[in-house]
Structure 1
Amino acid sequence: MNPFRRAQIILLCDLCKTAHLQSHCERCDINLCQTCVGKHLSDSSIRHKVVLYKYRKSLNYSKCPHHADELCKHYCEKCDIPVCSTCVSSSKHEGHDMSDILEKLSTKTESLQKDLDELETRIYPRYEEMASDVQTEKAQLETNYGELTTIADQQGEILHREITAIVNQRKSDIQEMKNKHLSTLNKNTDEITQKMAELKQIMSDLKSILKSNYVSLTSTYKSRNSEYRTLPPKVRVTAPSLSAQKINKDQLNEMFGSLSPLSINTEHGDTIKSAEAVSSPPVKPLLDEPRLTAAIDTGYKYLHSVSCLSEDQVWTCGNNKTMKLLNLQSELLTSIQTKSGNRPEDIAVTRDGDLVYTDPINKTINLIKNKQIQTVITLQGWYPLYVCSTASDDLLVTMNSDDRKQYKVVRYSSSTEKQSIQFDDQGRPLYSSAYYISENKNLDICVADTRAVVVVNQSGKLRFRYTGHPSNTELSFNPIDITTDSQSRILTADYDNDRIHILDQDGQFLRYIHCDFELPWGLCVDIRDNLFVAEHVTAKVKIQYL
C-alpha cells in the first residue's frame, strides 16, 4: 500500500470517520474535520477547547490501578482521586459526586499557578530582601567596628605606655564581639539561604508539573505555601559602644571606658499574608470629567510648591522667603519666613502636621514646629532639592552634587541617613536630574526626572521609567512635580503640555487631566484624593476631584 494513502486513511475525523482531520478538541480528546467542528461545538453543555491538530496538547491520563485497560478520565470528589469509567459505575463509588478530570485538572492547574505566582512575586522576594539586609549589615561590620578600634587607638595614644595593656585588652574584646556578631549574621544567612533553596526547588517542581500535564502529579499536589509564609526568625544585633572618660593614672582601667556587651536578639519572623488576605482600600474610579471645585489666590508672583495640611488648608511656597498657609477661600492663616532669608526650594508636611523645607543655598533641611525653625540636617558636598514625608515619618530628599553632575535620593530618619539611592544594578545613574519626589502607598519611591518619571521600590531597585504617552504629539514630556493617591496611582505635572498624567502603580498610563491649566508645577493630594495643582505663573492653586 502506498504510504501516503495509508497515512491519509489513519488520520481521519473521529466523528464522521471519512474526512481528513484538521482540529482537535482538548476537552473531549477527539479529532475533528472542518465539517464536524461546528457540530461538535453545538453541544453547549460542555466547554469545548478546539485547536488546530498540530497545536494540540497531549494529555497523559493515568491508568486505572484497578482496571489496567482503562484510563482515569473522571474524578471522585469524595475520595479525592482520579477514576475510570468502570470505577464510576462500581459500588465502591456509589453515590459519590463525580467530575470530569479535565475540569478538575483546570482547577488544580489554576491553584498550582497561584501558588507559583505567590512564591515568585511575594514570598521569595521577601527572603531575598532579608538576605540583602543581612549582607548590608555585614558590609557595615568593618566600618562600625573599625570606628570602635579607632576610638580605642586614640585613647591609647593619649595615655601612652601606661594604658598599652588596657588598649590591647579592649581590642581583644572588640574582636571577640565582632566575631560573635559576624557568626550570628552568618548563621542567620545560612538559615535564610536554606529556605530560599527549598523555595527554588518547590518552584522548579511546580513548573515541571505545570509543563508535564501529568494528571496524577497535578491532582495529588499539596500546597506548602503556608509553611513558608512565616519567615525565618530575624536576628537583631545591637553593636557595642565604647565610652571614653578623662584620664586618671591611678584608675586607668576604670577611666579608659567600658565596652558595652554585644546584644544579640532574635525576633520571630513576620508572616506574609496570602494574596487573598491582603486588604486594599476601596476602589475609587476616576471621574469621566474632573471637576474644578476651588481656586486659591496665593499672592506669589511665581508659585512652586503646595503641600496639604488638611482637606481645606494648604501650605504654599513661591518666589520669595515666605511660606504661607491658606484655606480654600484664599485667606492667609499663617506665614513663616525661612531662617536664612533664602527662598525655600520645596516644602512638605510631616505626619505630625509640622512643615519641612529645603534651603539649597545653605545646604540645609529645616523643620518648623510650633512656628519655631530648627535646622535638622546640614549637608556637605550636596545641595538638598525636593522633599517628601513618608508613611514611616522618614524624609525622602532629592539632591544634587556640588559639581552639578550627580543626583541621588536620600532617606533620613530624624537627622540620621538611612538609605542612599543613586545607581541601578549595573552601576548606572538612576537620575539625570531629580525634581519633586513622592512615596506611593506600596512604598515605591517616585521621582520626576528629566523627561521621565523614575520609580524604584523601597530597597532602591528600579521598577520602571515612564517617558510619556505614545500619543503625545505636542511638546516633549516634561514632568515637574509628582504625587500619589490612596489607590497608588501616580500623578505628575507635565509643565510644557499644561496637563496632568495619571498612571497606575505599575507605570501604565490611565488618562490625562486637562482643565485649561497654565504651566502646572506643584501637586499634592489630600486624604480624600482631592488634587491640588499649583500653576506656576498665575500663582493659583486649583483643586481637581478624582
Structure 2
Amino acid sequence: MASFFRSPDGCSIHREEKYIAVCNSCEKSVCMLCMILHQGHSFTDNGQALGVYKGKLLADGLLITIQNRGRELREELDRLIHEMTKTIKDSKKANMDKIHTAHHTVKRRHSQLNSLIKQAKAEINRNNIHNVLSLYNNINDAIDGYNTNSQDTQIDFQYYKFIAGELRKENLEEMFGKLEAEVKKSNQENPYEYVEPARTCSLKQDHADTEIMCQFKACEKGIASICPFKEDRAFLRDNTGKDIKLIKESGKVLRSLTTNTKKSDVAITLHRCGIGRFLGLQCEFRQQKISQEIFQEGETIQTIESVNKTLTNGNKPLIVSPYKVRLSQYTGDIGVVNWTGPNQGNVLVFGTYGTLKYTYPHKTDVTFEPHDITFDSQNQSVVADAVSQLLHLLSAEGDLLRTIYQCDNTPWSLGYFGRGKLWVGQSDGTVSAIRYKFSTDKR
C-alpha cells in the first residue's frame, strides 16, 4: 500500500474507496476496484522510486566530490612542480653567479699581484731597497687578500711575506721569485676551467635543405676554433690549446703547429705572414680591445694591439661577458658572442666603425647560449646554440630565417668555406661538414 494514498474525495467511480493511486498507463486516479476491473491499470511503488532517486543523487554527489578533489590535487601538484622548478633554476643561477664572481675575483687579484711583483722587481734591479719599503703594505695586503679573503678564491701555496729585517736584495729576489712562480702556476691551474654541462634537447629536427657531406673525428677534446684553408681542409684548434692542426675532410692530419694558444678566446685566421691568432676581446673600461698575433712554425713574428671604439649604450654595457669575437671576411663586421648568465646570452654584430647593427635574440630572457658565429657572402650569419644544439641562420638585419642543422653534441665552433659549405666543431672532437641552401655565393 506504499503506492496508494488516502484521498478525501475518494475514487471518482467507486466513492466508497478512499485509497487511490495514479495509473502509469492512463495517468488517472484509480482505486483497488478499478485495478481489478481494468487489467491495463498499473502503478509504481512510490517508496521504491524514492529510494532509487535518493541513490542516484548520492552517486552523482560522490562523483562531483571526486572530480573536485581530483582538480584540487592536480592544481596542488602543478603548483609544487612550478615551485620546485623555480627553486632549482634560482639555485643554479646563484651557484653560477658565485662561480663567475669568484673567477673574476681571482683574475683581478692575479693582475694586482703581478703588477706589484713587476714594480718591486724593477726597484730591486735599481738597488732602490728603500723604495721597496713603500710597497710593503700594499704587497702584504694583496697577499693577505689573495690567500684569506674567501674560501672561493683560496689557493693552496706557501705564504711569502716581507720581514723588515730581511730586506736585503738577495732575500727580496728570492721571495719575489718564489711568489711569481706560484702565481704563474696558479694561473696555469685555472680552478674555473670550462666544463661542458650535460644537456638534453627534444627530438632531432630534420633539415631537408641541408646536405650532410661528411663527419669525422678530429681530436679527443672539443673543437674551439676552425679556420678554412682550402675547400676540403682547415686549421683546427682543440680545447687544450697546445697545438693547431691542418686537417682534411677525411680526418687526416696534414700539418701540426705546437704553440701556446690557451686564451679566453683565440680565433685562427690566415695572414700573408703565416697563421694568426686573432681578436681577443676584453671589456676593460667599457672599451673594445682587439689584439692580433701572427706566428709561423710556432714562432711569433708579429704582434698588433689596439684599443678603440666604445661599446656602450647609455650607461648600460652592451657586452657582459664576451666569450668569442669573429670577423666577417666579406664586410669587415665584428660578431661578439656575449654570455649574460647561465644558459643565457646573445650575439652582437658591429659594423666596421663600431656601430651596433643588431642583437640576437632580441629578447634577453630567452634560453639561448651561443658558442660561435660566422658570416657568409650574402651578409647572413650562422650562430651555434649550445642549449638546443641548433645552427640558426640570420638575415643581414639579425632576424631568424630558419635553423639549418642540429648537432649530436654541443656545437663549439664554426668555419665557413663558401657556397653554403660549413664545418661545425663539436664538444666531443667531431667535425661535421654540411652545405645549406641559399643563393649563389661569390666565393
**TM-score of Structure 1 vs Structure 2, range by shorter chain:** 0.3 to 0.5
TM-score (norm 2): 0.44
Q: Which has the higher contact order (CA 8 A, sep 6+)?
A: 2
TM-score (norm 1): 0.36
